Chain A
């Protein structure tokens, strides 16, 4: 079991919006920055969101992040077939002195 909990899968139609949740605790999400990663099939992960809600240059504003308490959310609007990928949340866990990832969420664009 992962320290951070994500839904195994989500799906939505092209053009629609989807949200992916990431639930943790006060030792990780509650007191540290959350980042989100996209992993397209057969490729290395890519940073989508850092510091809870910031986008690296080159990441379209269709991707957004938010955090409230011990949970974080990734939002994707205007879904495209190219968004089909696995998405992971991650953060530092102060109690474990370790980085932790969620189990990953597979996004299907129907």
Chain B
């Protein structure tokens, strides 16, 4: 079945780095755009980044631009989020989600279960 499974979350000190992974299965991963979306405790959804099907186009929320990098390995059916210079306000559940298109503008039809990132000293 179509599935996304995130991993790599945990507790990290401010200023440190963390890399999240999202393993995709059950569909042609290389033909879909992929997003990262996060949700801080008790807050709403916040979009983080998107990468197009071939990795050639990437867009970021202003809140993470210059600190986070989205990437993908289509040979491994895996999406990544490299998070550097982490701040307390990056604490959230991070979801990966599939776009309905090869880009990133049609909506997210498949979601992972989420992985929790806690930034604290």
Contacts and interface: CB of A to CB of B under 8 A. Distances in A.
A44 B46 contact: no
Nearest to B65: A98
Interface residues of B, number: 24
Contacts of B113: 44
Interface residues of A, number: 26
Contact of B106 (A51, A88, A101, A103): A51
Chain B binding surface SS class: strand
Nearest to B99: A99
Contacts of B59: 97-99
Interface in B87-120: 95, 97, 100, 104-109, 111-114
Interface of A: 2, 32-33, 35, 37, 39, 44-47, 50-51, 56, 86, 88, 90-92, 97-104
